[in-house]
A and B are shown apart, each in its own frame.
Chain A
Amino acid sequence: MGNVKRSRADLYATVLEVIRRYPEGGRITRISYGVGVPVDRLKTMVENLYSFGLVTRATEGNEVYYGVTPRGLEFLDTYRKMKGFLATFGEGS
């Protein structure tokens, strides 16, 4: 979203933001359209988030659904607050 290169933390936050829009669980393709990142790249990121304990993974038939854990929501909250501080200091938004 935008022309500025997103940092890894920005990308992880965006992925979590998109996943949290699907309380019933989000499929990787849907998340990929939301984040604006190809599925293959996104898969690695979501798997990383899963290993950090920030997202949940549930399988239903052939489909894998992802959700955000309380720790993921905590990360998002902290990320937003930190961005708020940086905006206050005049460093990015």
Chain B
Amino acid sequence: MVDVNVPKGASVTLGRVEGQLDVANGAKIRAADRNLVVVTGEARFGGNAKVECDLECESLRVEHSGKMGYADLLVLGNLTVHGRLDVSNSIEVEGAMNAEEVDVGGRVRARSVSCKRMRVGGIAEISESLKAESVEVGGKIEARGVLDVKDLQVGGKAEIGGGAITGTINVGGKFESSSKLDFGELQIYGVGSLASGSKGRRIIASGKLTAKGALECDQIEIAGIASVSGDCKAIRVQVKGKLDVAGSLITSELLDVYGVTEVNNAFSGGNLRVSGKFSAEKALVTNDAELYGAVETQKGLKAKSILVRSGTRCTGPIIGDTVEVGGSGPGFSAFAWGQRLRLQVGTSQVEDVYASRLLIGAGSRARRIFAETVDLGSGCDVDEVTYVSELKMADDVKVASPVKKVDKLKEPPL
């Protein structure tokens, strides 16, 4: 039942409407008092209309006028819908838009939005705050203010400010946050950019991700290219593509490199596994380091146990309790995106090695060795050997300078 009917093209002044309001195409509505029109039932707009005040209603429905390029409904004040807001094409609210559920087929533009669920087929533009449990946008969302959202799903592009998105962010194309963001899981397929100081639970990036400053995230999985221009702190990091960190990288559990990881300052972590290329100023590993491929440090790599697999080239000193050089390399399953397939020649090359127990496998090459016990396999080529208690050496091992037995080894660089 329609309780108030506004005819086509009419300008009316309304106060409180008990029941349903039906507004025809091209109408204008003004408030009788307090700059507010209240509709206790549904407000239905049959085409484009302008509300020159605040509007409050139980539910709102707007049909498309057929006029492209214009918002079907323009509200100059605030819009409060206690139930569902259903707009077939577009709506523009100059003030705050509050609703239980927002469903817009085409485009929504508002100063701020607060709702439980927002579903927009095309474009959502929110200039200030956005508060919602779930936001789904088919095309693009631009919300440069503060966000308090649980889940955000965008098919195309998301340009947001900062705040919190505690659940999942899933963006098909481009994602950009211009201020510090606290997030749950961030899934990026295209190009992504996070502001400095952002924190999250998980990042899965298969395109290109840039963190413009420090980044803290429990789990990071990089399948494309990622760069962090500050420090990066995580529990686990897996790199199948390329990761560049301009500051330091801290992974409390594991850094797993199948592709390339370059850390400008120090890396420190629980465990390090390299099956590609890794470089850092220095690497401090609490437990185990398993190295295959190319590993480069300026000041050294220190771990409790270090395994340098066959075919690995290690630049910079390595320091460990137990060090094994020349263990067999990983199988084919470890080859991944970003890593060159090459023929194994079986030899490993290391520079200075400091260890309690050192085993150098057959055919490997080392520069200087400082260890309590040393075991050199057949065909090894070493410049200098200094040991404390035990030395085992195959007959065909080449040592360039006389072997030294000492009571105490010199201090390692790390």
A85 and B139 form a contact (CB under 8 A): no
Are the C-beta atoms of B241 and A33 separated by less than 8 Å?
A: no
How far apart are A53's CB and chain B's nearest CB, in angstroms?
20
Contact B172 A30 (CB under 8 A): no
- B residues less than 8 Å from A18 (CB atoms): 121-122, 138-139, 155
Give the distance to chain B from A4, nearest Cβ to Cβ, in Å: 11
Check B121 against A88 for contact (C-beta < 8 Å).
no
A64 to B121, CA, bound (A): 17
B350 beta carbon closer than 8 Å to chain A: no
| B contacts with A: majority SS | loop
What residues of chain B lie closer than 8 Å to A31, measured between beta carbons?
A: 121
Given contacts A88-B224, A93-B173, contact A29 B105 (CB under 8 A): yes
A34: B residues at CB distance < 8 A = 105-106, 120-122, 138-139
B-facing mask of A12-46, CB < 8 A → 1, else 0? Answer: 01100110110000000111111110000000000
Distance A24 CA – B118 CA, assembled complex (angstroms): 16
A57 proximity list for chain B (CB < 8 A): none
How far is it, in angstroms, between the C-alpha of A92 and the C-alpha of B307 when the chains are bound?
Answer: 41
Q: Which residues of the partner chain B approach A14 to less than 8 Å between Cβ atoms? A: 138-139, 155-156
Contact with A along B83-118 (1 / 0, CB 8 A): 000001110000000000000011100000000000
User: Which residues of B45-84 have CB atoms within 8 Å of chain A's CB atoms?
Assistant: 64
Q: Which residues of B contact A32 (CB under 8 A)?
A: 105
> Pick the contact of B89 from A13, A20, A33 — CB < 8 Å?
A33
Most buried by A among B88, B123, B157, B173: B173
Whether the pair A21, B138 counts as a contact (CB closer than 8 A) is: yes
Contact of B119 among A21, A35, A87 (CB under 8 A): A21
* B121 and A35 form a contact (CB under 8 A): yes
Closest CB-CB distance, A73 to chain B, in whole Å?
12
Q: Is B180 in the interface zone, CB < 8 Å from A?
A: no
Interface contact A84-B121, CB-CB below 8 Å: no
Does B387 touch A at the CB level, under 8 Å? no
B107 contacts which chain A residues (CB < 8 A)? 33
Beta-carbon contact of B190 and A36 below 8 Å: no
Contact of B106 with A33 in the complex, beta carbons under 8 Å: yes
Size of the A side of the interface (Cβ < 8 Å), in residues, is 25
Rounded to whole angstroms, the CA-CA distance of A81 and B413 in the bound complex is 44
Contact B138 A88 (CB under 8 A): no
Of residues 142 to 196 in B, which have CB atoms within 8 Å of A's CB atoms? Answer: 155-157, 172-174, 188-191
Q: Does A76 contact B (CB under 8 A)?
A: yes
Q: Are A29 and B122 in contact (CB under 8 A)?
A: no
In the complex, what residues of A have CB within 8 A of residue B140's CB?
1-2
Which B residues lie within 8 Å of A87 (CB)? 190-191, 207-208, 224
Which residue in chain A gives the minimum CB-CB distance to B123? A1
Residues of B within 8 A of A36 (CB): 106, 122, 139
Give chain B residues whose Cβ lies under 8 Å from the Cβ of A93.
173-174, 190-191, 207
* Distance in Å: Cβ of B205 to nearest Cβ of chain A: 8
Q: Taking the complex as formed, is B314 at the interface, i.e. its CB lies under 8 A from any CB of chain A?
A: no
Does B136 have its Cβ within 8 Å of any Cβ on chain A? yes
CA distance A32 to B314 in the complex (A): 58
Q: In the complex, which residues of chain A have a beta carbon less than 8 angstroms from the beta carbon of B188?
A: 84
Which listed residue (B89, B106, B123, B206) contacts A84, Cβ 8 A? Answer: B206
B139's partner among A1, A20, A29, A81 (CB-CB below 8 A) is A1
Closest chain A residue to B153, Cβ basis: A21
Q: Is B280 an interface residue (CB 8 A)?
A: no
| B196-222 interface with A by 8 A CB criterion | 206-208
A80 within 8 A of B: yes
Asked if residues A88 and B207 are in contact (CB atoms below 8 Å), the reply is yes
Q: B119 and A1: CB pair below 8 A?
A: no
Assuming the contacts A18-B138, A33-B105, asked whether A83 and B90 have C-beta atoms less than 8 A apart, the reply is no
Q: 17 A-B Cβ contacts within 8 A?
A: A1-B139, A1-B156, A2-B157, A13-B155, A17-B156, A18-B139, A18-B155, A21-B119, A21-B138, A30-B121, A34-B105, A34-B121, A80-B206, A87-B190, A87-B208, A88-B224, A88-B241
Known A17-B172, A80-B172, A84-B188; 9 more pairs at CB < 8 Å: A1-B157, A2-B157, A13-B155, A18-B121, A30-B105, A31-B121, A33-B121, A88-B207, A93-B191
Query: Sorted from nearest, which 7 A-B pairs have the closest CB atoms?
Result: A34-B121, A17-B155, A33-B106, A84-B207, A33-B105, A80-B189, A18-B138
Q: Measuring CB to CB, which residues of chain A are less than 8 angstroms from any residue of chain B?
A: 1-2, 13-14, 17-18, 20-21, 29-36, 76, 80-81, 83-85, 87-88, 93
Chain B residues close to A by CB (< 8 Å): 64, 88-90, 105-107, 119-123, 136-140, 155-157, 172-174, 188-191, 206-208, 223-225, 241
